[in-house]
Structure 1
Amino acid sequence: MRQLHHKYLILFLVCLTAMAFPQQLMAQLRCPQLFSDHMVLQRDIPISVWGWANPLEKITVSLDGSEALVVADEKGEWVAKLPKRPVGGPYQLTVKGANEQLVFSDVLMGDVWFASGQSNMEHPMAGWPWIPYSGINDYEKEMADVDYHQVRLFQVPKMPMPVPAVDYEESAWSLPSEESLELFSSTAWFFAKQLNQQLNIPIGIIHGSWGGTPIRSWLSAEVATQFAKELDLQPPPENFDPNDWRNAELASLDNAYERRMTISFPKTDYLPEMALDFDDSGWQETNPIDEDTHFENVVWARKEVRVPEKFAKGPFELSLGVLNRESRVYVNGQELGFFLYSQPAKFEVPVGLIKPGKNVIGVRLATPFGVTSFEGDAEAFVLSHINGKFAVSLADSWRFQNDKKEGFGTITNHYSRPTYLYNGMVAPATNYGLKGFIWYQGEADASRAELYGKMFPTMISDWRTKWGLGDLAFLFVQITSIETSHDIGTPNSSWSQLRQVQKETLKLPNTGMAVTIDLGDPYDVHPKNKVEFGRRLALQALDVAYNEPVEANGPSPLSASLEGKEVVVRFSANIELKKNRVGLGASFELAGEDGQFLPATGEVKGNKLYIHSGTVAEPKAVRFDWSNDPEYYIINKAGLPASPFVLELDK
């Protein structure tokens, strides 16, 4: 179990500081793990090479004719500077001490990008081992196109730390391959691949992200202190021992992995609990949508249904309201489908699966956090013949058996503590030359948009300061669309303010935002079309970091005014209105003097959006796509969408 777990997590010890274990650092000539064969060094800036040796040891660093001589200080630390170089390679980088020599081969000069964030940046090509069916779209096709020798990958080990680390451990650069990409960030890979194709230069990606993490985890201590009133800042543990910390975190991550695997996957493909002839007489009986019904994090549920012989040939439709969360649905032991997140559970039952007489509808519900539940009105739970002449309610008289999954040992949540991921996963890279950053995070902070609007730009400025290379390009994804409510169809705009503060962050210089309001999966927080996410970030890079003549952004509104009884929003070029895949939220809204936005209707003609309302007599403001999963979106000729916006009408 540990070996499989470590293959994904690449859980290597992140060292603390030279003071924490000086003997280890000074035992031999050593460079950080970021220096390895196949590395990419940042072109066109002085090259920093650093490491550890014996105190006062002379170190010679050489690269393709350039050489630097330095002497380690009393702690054994040294830093050498080589002159900047253009795109090129492959080279050898040599670090020579008094008695030892390090040789790094196949070194390229190119552009290095640091990729970070939460799960949508982490989203591996093959998906997470513990999340069923989570691989990206067209996985096998994409894996057949990975031979890009100029693209190099560095996976940052996962390890939260209470103080800044000076190095990663047991990490190395790798070439793209099925093995190295299987569990690598899909968004970062497609970004790097696109840039390499467009620019024909080496691209290195340092990827360090962690699913479900809030922005506070990625703040340095200096920034976190600025938000001390809002954050639960605590000093490092007393009598801190790095080995004890490492062992505890590895054990925690192993326990979390085992727990998630056990929750997500039944022990075998065949589940006798779902079979027609399974004896469930010892199970409890309930109406699953009763408020008093209590399920654990895993529950098995069965409902017996009798079908007259004249209707048994079907075809049938099965509706089970909304199932929360991971749900496997069975009819007479045959699995009909799997849902990872809450969505309307509707199925066409294959002809012949329903039998005359007794039938059993089975459900296995599981959730990694909280408890499972059946949601929706009683009318949404029904098995019906498509001809409408036969239907049976499934809203009551279910038998169920809780199967609580627990006892996996200690599981910590240090990954969500302020500064801990900056310390363990960002700090060790701050001396390594970069071209810029790509960032996909924000879902975990959707309920704290106002605070996020302060933290995010502050974090960007701080990271730039830590690297000391000026206003490095910082490109980020505006969070996409989703249905976040179990009450599917109920207007919900909980993510809108977060999108807005992300957009306001563009006030910082050298930033770019990939708008993805059209790319979301309404029932999966992890859209699988990551090719397009990476492509749009690459367009931002070509525009912001490379000054290439590309169309990187969707249409932006220029003005809004009242013309007769219509509100007209003008854009700089022609636009097109597109219907969303599901789109249950309002796209067009108008507000009067009271500031209350009400749904309206809209249409596009040329470069103008016309919005009509029968309820707002004197509009003062217009709002577009201000819902989690809006019904429509607007694109330009390049197919890029407009970001959600709010405009006051011209006076």
Structure 2
Amino acid sequence: MKCHTKGIIVYTLAASSVFTASGKENGLKLAGVFADHMVLQQQTDASIWGFAEAGETVTVTPSWSRRGEKVKANKEGKWLTTIETPKAGGPFTIEVESGDEKVELKDVLSGEVWICSGQSNMQWKMRGFGVDHFEDDVKKAKHPEIRFCDVPQLLGLEEQDDVQTRWTVCSPNTVLNFSAVAYFFGSQLHEELDVPIGLVSTNWGGSSAEAWMSEEVLQKDFPEFKEPLKKSAKLVDDLGSVFPRGKDVPKGLNQRTPAVLYNSMIKPLQPFAMRGVIWYQGESNVKAPEQYQTLFPRLIQSWRADWQQGDFPFYFVQIAPFAYKAEPIPVAFLREAQAMALAEPNTGMVVTMDVGQVDNIHPKDKKPVGERLARLALARDYGKEGLVDSGPMYESFKVEGKKVRLSFKGIGGGLVSRDGEPLSHFTVAKRNGPFVEAQAEIDGDTVVVWSDEVSRPADVRFAWGNADEPNLMNKEGLPAAQFRTDDRPIK
């Protein structure tokens, strides 16, 4: 149905409701991210918030503490306080009272919470590849301490105060509706840490990075988005503020419209306490790699600023090999732009050059993707010593006569060929000359590259084709990332 709240149309579904900045339901209510079966980030001051009658005192009392936190609702009926969460464990309850009203959260766990966001390769559910594809993993998914929070897909033309989520307990039946990447990430953490894991899934297939960024940041730093943002503002005046997927969505409004997913699928989650973010997105921005060089780092910076939880971990997946047919710019430039975001503090990148499907932009092999994301978290956030969390990453090169010697970091136990065949997908060029196929071999911790066609080599590229599936990796089985030694313009 749809109802009117102070001149703004709000669409409400049976499974999800949205509250605008200018309105709320009467009486005591917790924000929609708080629900039975949820996981709270352990051992932190976790924000908890909601709505009540203006000026009313709200008391929040968790079962692990005898002390109730008191806070007054402001004149708009909003309230927010923090509760000190215990070490991993549960189940707990949380009672929220105001006057003669009372809300109780049941079966609450304390553990590790991660936001899982991006486009279709993050969204893709376990059942989406056919139940038989992950049959063994589904049968083993008896993990009552893994909880999955699903954020409904909503297009918001203005920033929203709230979104009604749903928390689900992991079982062989419910796991079918979990994001595959998020589940394999979370299950690996659960196995290694033996603590409850909360996975907040907020994603939309085909979405662009700019859709996940605030209007304020886009207006300030990216003038190219001012015109579409102006159109969105006109739609608010003419039609309304929030549109659930498939429900009377105005023409031209979609998951690539700037700011619309941030408004309704990120902003309402802030400042929910969590450990960090895993992110898998980029396919919808392949046409503008130069813009992505600044857009993606700015997304990371702005989320951290808005969440106000410091430089929390932000681990992302580099897009996989795929035979893009209509893209005039090599997709390697988008992968390069993604890698540039590693300059941001506390970031990490999962390389997928070995687990793509050149004929499918949604490769089925999601398990290693989730597990590689978990490696990053286990090594960098949870103190798992000796765990190699990256494949070979280009570091430097040196021309030695007719050959070029390449040095890498992330070599782990050593460089190897995945299939035992000669190293593949290297090209070499003289200065400003065309790149030609090259031979390459491992020499200790380096790789030597050459071509009989290039007597004076100057530049090397590796895995620069859209669908390249190279075989260089380290002994831990993590693939080398694409790279180039040149700085030629994008074209």
Q: Tell me, yes or no, whether TM beats 0.5.
A: yes
Partner of residue 210, structure 1: 204
| Residue deviations 1:226-273 (CA, integer Å, cap 9, x gap) | 34422232252366488x6557854347xxxxxxxxxxxxxxxxxxxx
The alpha carbon displacement at 1:470 in A equals 0.3
Query: Identity over aligned residues, as a percent?
Result: 33
The alpha carbon displacement at 1:647 in A equals 2.4
**Amino acid in structure 2 at the alignment position of 1:113:** W
Q: CA RMSD in A?
A: 2.7
Match of 2:452 among 614, 620, 644: 614
Matched, 1:540 2:376: yes
Partner of residue 480, structure 1: 320
Give the secondary-structure state (helix, strand or coil) at the position aligned to 2:464.
Answer: coil
Partner of residue 97, structure 1: 98
| Residue deviations 1:74-100 (CA, integer Å, cap 9, x gap) | 222111222243222211111011111
| Residue deviations 1:574-601 (CA, integer Å, cap 9, x gap) | 31123599xxx97111121225322212
Mapped contact 1:445–1:498 kept (Cα < 8 A): yes
Mapped contact 2:145–2:170 kept (Cα < 8 A): no
Give the secondary-structure state (helix, strand or coil) at the position aligned to 1:233.
Answer: helix
Partner of residue 12, structure 1: 16
Task: Could you tell me which runs of 5 or more consecutive residues in structure 2 were left unpaired when the two chains were aligned.
Answer: 1-12
Q: Distance in 2 between matches of 1:248 and 1:643?
A: 38
Q: Distance in 2 between matches of 1:580 and 1:188?
A: 32
The alpha carbon displacement at 1:182 in A equals 2.0
The alpha carbon displacement at 1:73 in A equals 1.8
Q: Sort the Cα spacing of 1:251 and 1:79 in 2 relative to 1 into closer, same or farther, 3 A.
A: closer
Partner of residue 30, structure 2: 31
The alpha carbon displacement at 1:525 in A equals 0.3
Partner of residue 317, structure 1: none
Q: Distance in 1 between matches of 2:245 and 2:360?
A: 29
Partner of residue 168, structure 1: 163
**Amino acid in structure 2 at the alignment position of 1:183:** N
Q: Sort the Cα spacing of 1:156 and 1:546 in 2 relative to 1 into closer, same or farther, 3 A.
A: same
**Amino acid in structure 2 at the alignment position of 1:233:** L
Matched, 1:41 2:22: no
The alpha carbon displacement at 1:178 in A equals 3.8
Q: Which moved more, 1:441-450 or 1:589-598?
A: 589-598
Mapped contact 1:579–1:631 kept (Cα < 8 A): no
The alpha carbon displacement at 1:413 in A equals 3.5
Task: Could you tell me which runs of 5 or more consecutive residues in structure 1 were left unpaired when the two chains were aligned.
Answer: 1-8, 128-133, 254-409
Partner of residue 461, structure 1: 301
Task: Give the alignment of 1:584-599 within 5 angstroms.
Answer: 587-599=425-437
**Amino acid in structure 1 at the alignment position of 2:19:** C
**Amino acid in structure 2 at the alignment position of 1:197:** E
Task: Give the alignment of 1:233-632 within 5 angstroms.
Answer: 233-234=229-230, 235-237=232-234, 240=237, 250-252=246-248, 413-485=253-325, 494-549=330-385, 550-571=387-408, 573=411, 574-578=414-418, 587-632=425-470
Q: Distance in 2 between matches of 1:192 and 1:449?
A: 30
Mapped contact 1:61–1:68 kept (Cα < 8 A): yes
Q: Distance in 1 between matches of 2:204 and 2:307?
A: 21
| Residue deviations 1:522-558 (CA, integer Å, cap 9, x gap) | 1100011111110011111112322322110012334
Length, aligned pairs only: 466
Q: Distance in 1 between matches of 2:469 and 2:270?
A: 43
Q: Sort the Cα spacing of 1:450 and 1:140 in 2 relative to 1 into closer, same or farther, 3 A.
A: same
Q: Distance in 1 between matches of 2:87 and 2:222?
A: 43
**Amino acid in structure 2 at the alignment position of 1:507:** A
The alpha carbon displacement at 1:143 in A equals 1.3
Partner of residue 115, structure 2: 114
Mapped contact 1:15–1:168 kept (Cα < 8 A): yes
Partner of residue 6, structure 2: none
Matched, 1:225 2:209: no
Q: Which moved more, 1:143-152 or 1:599-608?
A: 599-608
Q: Which moved more, 1:556-565 or 1:429-438?
A: 556-565
**Amino acid in structure 2 at the alignment position of 1:236:** A
Give the secondary-structure state (helix, strand or coil) at the position aligned to 1:237.
Answer: helix
**Amino acid in structure 2 at the alignment position of 1:503:** A
Q: Distance in 1 between matches of 2:235 and 2:342?
A: 41
Length-normalised TM-score, structure 1? 0.67
Matched, 1:186 2:180: yes
| Residue deviations 1:82-124 (CA, integer Å, cap 9, x gap) | 2243222211111011111111111111111111100000011
Give the secondary-structure state (helix, strand or coil) at the position aligned to 1:167.
Answer: strand
Q: Sort the Cα spacing of 1:102 and 1:10 in 2 relative to 1 into closer, same or farther, 3 A.
A: closer
Match of 2:471 among 615, 629, 633: 633
Give the secondary-structure state (helix, strand or coil) at the position aligned to 1:182.
Answer: helix
Q: Distance in 2 between matches of 1:424 and 1:565?
A: 56
Q: Distance in 2 between matches of 1:221 and 1:44?
A: 33
**Amino acid in structure 1 at the alignment position of 2:303:** W
Q: Distance in 2 between matches of 1:648 and 1:215?
A: 27
Q: Distance in 1 between matches of 2:441 and 2:131?
A: 34
Length-normalised TM-score, structure 2? 0.88
Q: Sort the Cα spacing of 1:199 and 1:631 in 2 relative to 1 into closer, same or farther, 3 A.
A: closer
The alpha carbon displacement at 1:36 in A equals 0.9
| Residue deviations 1:156-189 (CA, integer Å, cap 9, x gap) | 00011000111113x3211012443223211011
**Amino acid in structure 2 at the alignment position of 1:608:** T
Q: Distance in 2 between matches of 1:507 and 1:602?
A: 29
Mapped contact 1:249–1:412 kept (Cα < 8 A): no
Give the secondary-structure state (helix, strand or coil) at the position aligned to 1:217.
Answer: helix
Q: Sort the Cα spacing of 1:504 and 1:68 in 2 relative to 1 into closer, same or farther, 3 A.
A: same
User: Greater Rg, structure 1 or structure 2?
Assistant: 1
Q: Distance in 2 between matches of 1:193 and 1:558?
A: 33
**Amino acid in structure 2 at the alignment position of 1:94:** E
| Residue deviations 1:42-91 (CA, integer Å, cap 9, x gap) | 11221211111112212111112232112222222111222243222211
Q: Distance in 1 between matches of 2:393 and 2:157?
A: 43
**Amino acid in structure 1 at the alignment position of 2:179:** S
Q: Distance in 2 between matches of 1:441 and 1:229?
A: 22
Mapped contact 1:10–1:158 kept (Cα < 8 A): no
Matched, 1:135 2:130: yes
The alpha carbon displacement at 1:15 in A equals 2.4
